[in-house]
A and B are shown apart, each in its own frame.
Chain A
C-alpha cells in the first residue's frame, strides 16, 4: 500500500486527489472519519475532477457529487447512484497511525 498523506490533510466531508502508481485517485473522508478511495475520473464529464465534488449522504449512503454535472457516486463502491449502468473504480484504502494508505483497484 502506498502512503499518501496524513488524515488531517483531508477535511471531513471532502476529498483530495493523490497520484498512486500513475493513477489519479480521489480520496474522501466522511463525517464519521471513514476513508474511501475512487478513481478521480468522472466518466460522464470525462475529466479528472471527482475529488473536488461535494460529499454528502443519500439515505444512509455516503456519496460524492461530480463537480461537473452532479451525478452521484457511492463512496464505498464507486457505483453511480443516478445510472445503474455506470460506475467508477474503487481502491483499497486504510488509515494507519494517522497516515492514509492506498492499495490496488478493487475490481
Chain B
C-alpha cells in the first residue's frame, strides 16, 4: 500500500544513534512540528541517553548527570520513543527495514544515520593490553579513572585537540603525564609552528612532558596482571608508564552505510548531498558519520546544522548544508587556544601578521588578504595561543569578510587592543558558531523583549553550548540597547543615581554610617522601599552593626524589621539556625515544645531546618526567649543574608563519604552566619561526588574529593536554576575558606541589588574566569583586603535575637498595638488543617475601599 492510498498514516522516522547530533535532530523535530506527522524512534547503542561529549573531560568534576542532555531520560513529546542500549546491525534500503541486535526488524519511512565516529587506534603492538584506553565515551572515562587509582603515570598518544584534553584528564587524576605526538608540533591541525611551540611551553610549565616528532613503536608489557609497563618510542628512551590513552584521530562510524551499499566518501564517511541525503532517497546521514561533499567534520556545530537541514527537508523546506566553519576555541589545561578561518594561510597571496611574547606565553597570528584592486584588507583567519580574548571579535570578522580597520595590529596587541577594538559587525555575522546565531538574530531577540544577555541565550541558544561567544553576545545586547537610546539605566531608584556597587564604594570611601549622611551627600529625597533596604544592607556588610539599632532600623526591609518572615496574614514565621542540619534530640524537643506551647504551625523546610509559622508580632520575643535559652540563634531566614549551608551525612557515617561534610558545613555556616549580602546566600557541602547535599544548586557548593575539596560557585534553584561551576579543585580546607572569604566579599561589594551569585557572575566582564582571576589568582591584589573584611565580620558577629532580647529599646517595637501592646490583633484568625493552624481568610476589612471590578 502506498502513502497516497493512506494519506493519514503517520510516517515512521527512525534515527540511528543517540549522540549529540541525533539528540539535536529530535529536539528540532519536536520544536518545528515534525512530530505532528511523524512518529520518531531513536535507537542508541550507548547505555545512556545523549550527553555532552564536548564537555566530556568535565565528567571527573561534575559526573555523568551534569553532562546528560536529556535529564528525564525521555522526550516530553509522546510521539518520540527513545531506546538506549540497542544497536542497529543492518539496514535494508529496499525493504526499508533496520535490524537490531535484539533480532527485531523495524520498518522506517525515513531513516537518519547519526552514528558519529570512533577513535582510531593505529596497529601498534600491545594495543590490546589492559590499561590501554580510548577517549570517547563516559564509559571510557570511568575505566580510565578506575585504572588511574592504581597507576602512577600515563601517556597519551596524539597531541591534537582531543589528545590534550585526555592529557588534561590524566593529569587531573594525579598521574605523571606524557603527551606523544608524531607531528613536529602540538595541535597540528589548528595551530602553526610558532603557536605550537608556545603551547608546548605552557603545557610543560604545568608539569606535563611533551614529546613531539615522536613515533610510538610498541606498547610494552604485559606485567603479571596483564597490564602495560611502558611505551617504546623510535630513536628515544622508552617511557615508563602504566596507562596509555590513544587519541590519534577519529574515523567516521560508517559501517552500517557501507554494508547497505550507500556511497561512501573517499576518506570515509557516508557521502551526502546538501540536504544531507545519502545515495538512497529515504536515508539521511548527519554528524560525524556523514561526509557532505566528501568532507567529514569533527565538530558538533556542523552536525547540529545538518540536523536542522534534515528536519527542514522533511518538513518540505529548502534549507541546505553549505559547509561549516572549523573554528575552535578552548581552554586546555588553563591555556587559551583558538584557531579560526584559514589558520594556516593557505589562501593564495595571504599575508601573516604575528605577535609573540615568549615571557607571557602569548602567540597570536592573523591571516590577511589584500585586495589587489583597492588595497582593502580582509581577515581570513588566525591562531591565538595564551590569550584568546580577541576570538569573539575576530572569528565573526573572518567569517563575514568585513574590511579590517587601518591598524590591524591593534586587534592582537595586548591591553587596549584585542577584544577592546570597537568593531561594527554586519548583521549576518555569525556570533555563536555552536548554534549558528548571527548578530542580527541576537538584536532581533532584544527587540522582541529580551532584557539581558541571559534572556537572549535562553531565547536563541547563542552561548548555550561551548560558551566561548558569551562576552560577545553580552556586548551586542548592550550596544543594541545603547543604539536605541535605551541605555540600560542602572541607577538604584529615583533617589540615587548610582548602582548598588557604586553606592557600596561611596559609603566605604566616605565612611558613612547612616542613611541621612548618605542621602544628603549622594542622593535626593527621603528614600523608598528600594534604596532604604539597600543602604541598610550595605551598612550591615561594612559595619556589622545590629539591624535594629536605632539609627538604621527604619531602613530595614519587611522581614528584617521584625527579625522574622512576614506571612500572608500578618503573622510571622520563626526559623532558628540549625547549622549544617545537625541537631540534638534535646534541641529538637525544645523546638517541638515551643511550637506546641505557642500553637505554631510546624514544617520542615527545604533548607534542612524547621519553620514555626503563625507567630504574632507580640509573641516573637517570648518565643525567642525560650529558643535562645535552649542555645538557638537566629537563622536569618528573613534576611538577604547567609541562609543555610546544607550538608549530607558525609564520611562520618556514609559508606561512600571521603570527607567530613557535616563538619565543614557547620564550620562554614557558623563562619558566614549573619553575613548580609545583595541577595540571599546559600551553601552546600557534599561528602563525595554523589552530591547528596545538592551543593551545586547553591551559591557556593563544596564537594569532597579524595584529596580535599572542590569549590563550585554560582548555583541556585528558584525560577531560573543554575548549576554552580568549578572555581578551584582539590583544595585544602584552609585554602577553601580563603577563596570563599574572597569570593563572598567580592560578590557583596560588586553585585547589584537582588542579584544572586549566578547572575552576578554572568554579567561580570569575563564571567567565571574573571572571578577566578580575582579570587584565586588575586590579579587585583584585593585578596588580603577581602579576607580582612570577612575576618571583621566573623569577629563582630553577635546573634541578632539574643541582642534584641537584651535591649528594651529594641523590644518595645514588638507589640500588636502601641496603645494595647499585648492584645492580639482581632484581624488575625486561624482555621485548622491536618491538625495544625492555617491562616483564615481576613475577616475584617477596616475601611479599605476597592471599587467593584478592581478586585485582586
Question: With A and B bound together, what is the CA distance between A98 and B841 in angstroms?
Answer: 38
Residues of A within 8 A of B850 (CB): 43, 85-86
Asked if residues A88 and B819 are in contact (CB atoms below 8 Å), the reply is: no
Residue in B closest to A38 when the chains form the complex, CB atoms: B847
Count, A-B residue pairs, CB within 8 A: 142
- B818 near A16 with CB under 8 A, answer yes
B828 pairs with A48, CB closer than 8 A: yes
Instruction: Tell me if B817 and A17 are in contact (CB < 8 A).
Output: yes
Additional pairs, 17, CB under 8 Å, beyond known A17-B817, A42-B848, A89-B847: A13-B526, A23-B846, A30-B526, A39-B848, A41-B844, A41-B846, A43-B850, A46-B841, A48-B828, A53-B558, A54-B528, A54-B554, A56-B532, A57-B527, A65-B528, A83-B854, A88-B849
A85 CA to B820 CA, complexed, in Å: 33
Interface, chain B (partner A; CB < 8 A): 494-495, 525-529, 531-533, 550, 553-555, 557-558, 561-562, 566, 568-570, 812, 815-820, 823, 825-828, 841-842, 844-851, 853-854, 856
Contact A19 B817 (CB under 8 A): yes
Q: Which residues of B contact A67 (CB under 8 A)?
A: 558, 561, 566
Per the bound structure, the CA–CA distance linking A10 and B568 in Å amounts to: 25
Residues of A near B856 (CB, < 8 A) are 44
Q: How far is the CB of B852 from chain A (nearest CB, A)?
A: 10
CB A63 to nearest CB in B, in angstroms, measures 8
**Bound complex: CA of A57 vs CA of B845, how far in Å?**
27
- Cα–Cα, bound, A14→B828 (Å): 22
Q: How far is the CA of A24 from the CA of B816 in the complex (A)?
A: 10
Knowing A41-B827, A85-B851, the reply to whether A31 touches B845 (Cβ < 8 A) is: no
Of all A-B residue pairs in the complex, the 6 with the closest CB atoms, nearest first, are A89-B847, A65-B529, A43-B848, A67-B558, A56-B528, A47-B570
For the complex, give the distance between the alpha carbons of A43 and B134 in Å: 67
How many whole Å from B828's CB to the nearest CB in chain A? 7
A14 to B849, CA, bound (A): 23
Determine whether A5 belongs to the interface, using a CB cutoff of 8 Å to chain B: yes
How many angstroms from the CA of A56 to the CA of B566 in the assembled complex? 20
Which residue of chain B lies nearest to A4 when distances are taken between CB atoms in the complex? B819
- Bound state CA distance, A33 and B823, in angstroms? 28
Binding site for B on A (CB under 8 A): 4-5, 9-14, 16-19, 22-24, 27, 30-31, 39-49, 52-59, 62-63, 65, 67-68, 70, 72, 83, 85-89, 105
Do A68 and B854 contact each other (CB < 8 Å), given the known contacts A54-B533, A57-B528?
Answer: no
Whether B554 and A41, one on each chain, are in contact in the complex, defined by CB atoms closer than 8 angstroms, is no
Which of B528, B823, B854: most chain A CB closer than 10 A? B528
21 residue pairs from A and B, CB less than 8 Å apart: A5-B818, A11-B554, A19-B817, A30-B526, A46-B841, A46-B845, A52-B562, A54-B529, A54-B554, A54-B555, A56-B532, A57-B528, A58-B494, A58-B528, A62-B526, A65-B529, A67-B566, A83-B854, A86-B851, A87-B848, A88-B847
Asked if A18 and B818 make an inter-chain contact with CB atoms under 8 angstroms apart, the answer reads yes
Task: Write out the residue numbers on chain B whose beta carbons fall within 8 Å of the beta carbon of A58.
Answer: 494, 525, 528
A13-B526, A55-B554 known; A47-B854 Cβ under 8 A: no
Given A11-B550, A24-B825, A48 and B846 touching (CB < 8 A)? yes
Residues of B within 8 A of A24 (CB): 817, 825-827, 846
- For B825, what are the chain A residues with a Cβ–Cβ distance below 8 Å? 17, 24, 48
* Residues on A with beta carbons closer than 8 Å to the beta carbon of B557: 54
CA distance A14 to B561 in the complex (A): 11
Assess whether A40 is in contact with B525, with CB atoms less than 8 Å apart.
Answer: no
Give the docked Cα–Cα distance between A86 and B557 (Å). 23
Cβ-defined partner of B854 (8 Å) among A46, A85, A105: A85
Q: Please tell me if the beta carbons of B568 and A41 are within 8 angstroms of each other in the complex.
A: no
